[in-house]
Structure 1
């Protein structure tokens, strides 16, 4: 980690408590954004104004980014800059910004060079070679599968699903489904538990035969009620009584059916995805 000259201290954060976060890359920015956000998620009490800036591969481009960062610093946003830029001259330019610069490659490339007995290439776009192209298409197929099978819309090819996420409405099914598809290329479907699914001895007919692939989500009644009020204010759907009933029924169903589950109320999508992958023994 390096800090540019005159780096904005923590006490320079603006009154609203917002900080600027830049993800800067000489390629697509996916790596910088993914790794940077994985670090930022550990600070849920701070709000970040995020900027992903890809293809910074010239000194002029790097200086333009520094200008944007410095303007945010002057506005009191105390910028953080996450970079995966490989060329040392460009890294030096970025490090001159009035920000805390976190080089996500620093140290690691040196360690790999020593371990492999060779020097790392500075050719741009090395993160996205043939192997990554295959992974890209796997993820695109996974996203298409997730969209088709969102909210129980389709049962076609459900036997190909790596996992079926089951939960009452607004417990985090869709965001978790899309994250697993986009980040890991997993085939994920999700199914909403509604009043029509109860009372029942087991899982709904549409997913009953895939019980071993199911994973449940739950929440707390208060949190679920708050989330639902944003969608349908002052409705029975959002009432604390209805939320309590649905969550109680869902947890009972999971236990009777042997479906593992977790409470999503205080967990990020990244955390939930990690638990699901570990519990279901899934590999990307």
Structure 2
């Protein structure tokens, strides 16, 4: 007899900033429990005791209605607000207490305990670089602009809908990397050569590929019942694109089973780029 599925467990992401750090950490931790189901609730910008009390009330309400303690991931740095949320009936996992206090002891220094510090504009140069990289990636999306490619840190190439655009934008937003992307199309395969606009930047090229079956699914969502989305067309384009990458010596990877984070990290490592985001 099959075991009954586990009930959904509520997870609160409590932060004095955007909550992105706590959410990313919680996703990594909870992904280890693949037989459990979780419902995440983000409570950002807790910058007063009153807001901390309201967050605690929501956690208590969840416990009362569901009968199980919610899991609470917190990046609150203010001790008073932290204490107030801790009074709620939940499993409280404090990221700052876990990591910051041991580092304070090791360094013999007191941390700033400043609210929202990890996502402030305190480093104006880094912020400016990220905005510039995002604008660059948007302008050089899908081969729409060849001018300025000499300023690119990396140029992603591959067939249409293999993940070039989201990867380019992720690299720009997270790491301030100027990432352009350029599609390989049937005309390139018939000619048997890279697009002429890319020839001068071969050292910056990185190829993305994908399994034809998955590509057909993605394309069918965009243009159903078209030749563009047929499995035969997808098989032809993927095979030709991968052949061209081998001939041209372009480093590449398959995006089929990889997350955007994994793809971007591989690109950074293979191209040898510094992580210049946060």
- TM-score, with length taken from structure 2: 0.85
> Which residue of 2 is the match for residue 253 of structure 1?
244
Residues in 2 aligned to 1:36 and 1:147: alpha-carbon distance in whole angstroms: 30
- Residue 58 in 1 paired to residue 48 in 2? yes
Task: Output aligned runs, 1:101-250, within 5 Å.
Answer: 101-128=92-119, 131-250=122-241
Residues in 2 aligned to 1:12 and 1:66: alpha-carbon distance in whole angstroms: 22
- Residue 94 in 1 paired to residue 85 in 2? yes
Q: 1:78 to 1:151 in 2, by over 3 A?
A: farther
Residues in 1 aligned to 2:259 and 2:235: alpha-carbon distance in whole angstroms: 22
Q: Give 1:200 shift.
A: 3.1
Residues in 2 aligned to 1:131 and 1:109: alpha-carbon distance in whole angstroms: 20
Q: Give 1:140 shift.
A: 0.8
- TM-score, with length taken from structure 1: 0.83
Question: Does the aligned pair in 1 maintain the 2:6–2:35 contact within 8 Å?
Answer: no
Residues in 2 aligned to 1:99 and 1:81: alpha-carbon distance in whole angstroms: 6
Superposed CA RMSD in Å reads 2.7
Q: 1:47 to 1:241 in 2, by over 3 A?
A: farther
Q: 1:99 to 1:251 in 2, by over 3 A?
A: farther
Question: Does the aligned pair in 1 maintain the 2:7–2:37 contact within 8 Å?
Answer: no
Residues in 1 aligned to 2:45 and 2:215: alpha-carbon distance in whole angstroms: 41
